[in-house]
């Protein structure tokens, strides 16, 4: 039995197969309508979510399976003090696979140690968000035709943004990847990402605070929101929340074939006037999230690809 807790749980070859499967699902959706008949997905969300929870549920429904779960800690027995370990023992009796989002880093890892069904990390605190990374990889590969030889700009809250941490972890395994890390001083990537991931893998990167200056060299611009829920005081959040606002003027500085990604939700960091730009790929990205989660559920449940 396999879990997905960290993007590195899958080799690049396995990720390539998974993205190929997601690509086939995108183009042949009806073919997959019954491959998970009789299977159940539990969504255990201790933190708010729109995309991740609902795209997981849509994914399982598209595969012919069923879904159950809770959308907040308050509506589960966590509110009465039940541990993650006990909860997953119970869920293992009710479902075949589960996706868990939790504010505590490592909670899905703990769950996997007590689970008899595959556990998918759907975001743990400011740590990792591997299924967002699979979504991002599918989006980049679909739009650019490759996952290597790209200059990727990551902009915004690089300190608390778990999607950024997971994406960096995943992309350093491909050749010719350069990062431009664009953030205010207080929201730079954590030291462990710089030393244990970027430096250790001899990745070319620079840390800057000026988005305009970075725009012309980027193949992908990955915007992120400032993560209000991870701040210790509101004053800091208010001071930093509008550090970057991508608008039409800034888009004039970008390459014609540069794409903008964003894990969403967006707050102010991308002006709505940018949505009409053909390079704005963040809503397509959310759609890719359904296909890649379908592929992931099939892979972890060891469901055969239909002919």
204 φ/ψ angles, rounded to the nearest 5 degrees:
-75, 125
Task: Closer to ligand CP by CB, 6 or 52: give it.
Answer: 52
- Which of these ranges, 48-56, 166-174, 197-205, 275-283, lies near ligand CP under the rule CB under 6 A? 48-56
CB atoms under 10 Å from CB of 300, counted, come to 18
Q: By CB under 6 A, name the one of 49, 62, 142, 224 that touches ligand CP.
A: 49
Strand partners, 207: 181
What is d(CA 291, CA 205) in angstroms, rounded to the nearest whole number?
31
Q: Give the C-alpha separation, 219 to 278, whole Å.
A: 14
Catalytic pick from 129, 141, 165, 225? 129
Structural contact between residues 119 and 142, judged by C-beta atoms closer than 8 angstroms: no
Bridge partners (DSSP) of residue 49 are: none
Distance CA 100, CA 4 (A): 10
Closer residue to ligand CP (CB): 128 or 243: 128
- Kindly state the smallest distance separating residue 262's Cβ from ligand CP, in Å: 9
Minimal distance, residue 158 CB to ligand CP, in Å:
16
Q: Which of 3, 43, 52, 159 is catalytic?
A: 52
Half-sphere exposure of 25 (CA within 13 A, CB side): 30
Segment near ligand CP (CB under 6 A); pick from 35-43, 225-233, 258-266, 297-305: 258-266
Q: Where are the beta strands (DSSP E) in the chain?
A: 40-45, 66-70, 97-102, 119-124, 150-155, 177-182, 204-208, 220-223, 259-261
Say which DSSP state 281 is in.
-
Residue with tokens 């499967």: 21
Number of residues forming the site for ligand CP (CB under 6 A): 9
Residue of the chain from 10, 36, 44, 52 that contacts ligand CP (CB under 6 A)? 52
Draw the binding track, 97-126, toward ligand CP (x: CB under 6 A; -: no contact). --------------------------x---
Site string for ligand CP, 213-252 (x = CB under 6 A): ----------------------------------------
Backbone torsions φ then ψ of 159, nearest 5 degrees: -80, -55
Tell me if residue 50 is catalytic: no
265 binds ligand CP (CB under 6 A): yes
Query: Is 52 among the catalytic positions?
Result: yes
Name the residues annotated as catalytic.
51-52, 80, 101, 129
């Amino acid at each position: 039995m396999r879990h997905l807790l960290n993007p590195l749980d899958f080799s690049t070859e396995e990720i390539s197969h998974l993205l190929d499967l997601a690509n086939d699902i995108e183009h042949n959706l009806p073919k997959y309508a019954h491959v998970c008949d009789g299977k159940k997905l539990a969504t255990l969300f201790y933190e708010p979510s729109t995309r991740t929870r609902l795209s997981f549920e849509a994914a399982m429904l598209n595969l012919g399976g069923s879904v159950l779960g809770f959308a907040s800690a308050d509506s589960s027995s966590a509110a009465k003090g039940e541990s993650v370990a006990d909860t997953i023992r119970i869920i293992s009796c009710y479902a075949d696979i589960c996706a868990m989002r939790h504010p505590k880093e490592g909670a899905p890892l703990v769950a996997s140690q007590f689970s008899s069904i595959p556990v998918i990390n759907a975001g743990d605190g400011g740590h990792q968000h591997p299924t967002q990374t699979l979504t991002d990889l599918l989006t980049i590969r679909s739009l650019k035709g490759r996952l290597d030889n790209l200059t990727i700009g990551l902009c915004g809250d690089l300190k608390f943004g778990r999607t950024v941490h997971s994406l960096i972890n995943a992309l350093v395994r491909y050749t010719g990847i350069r990062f431009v890390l664009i953030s205010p001083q207080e929201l730079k990537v954590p030291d462990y990402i710089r030393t244990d991931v970027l430096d250790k893998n001899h990745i070319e990167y620079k840390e800057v605070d000026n988005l305009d200056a970075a725009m012309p060299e980027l193949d992908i611009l990955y915007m992120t929101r400032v993560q209000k829920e991870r701040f210790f005081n509101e004053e800091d959040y208010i001071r930093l929340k509008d550090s970057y606002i991508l608008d039409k003027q800034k888009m004039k500085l970008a390459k014609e074939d540069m794409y903008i990604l964003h894990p969403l939700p967006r707050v102010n960091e991308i002006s709505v006037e940018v949505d009409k730009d053909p390079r704005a790929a963040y809503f397509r990205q959310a759609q890719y999230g359904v296909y890649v989660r379908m592929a992931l559920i099939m892979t972890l449940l060891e469901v055969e690809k239909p002919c």
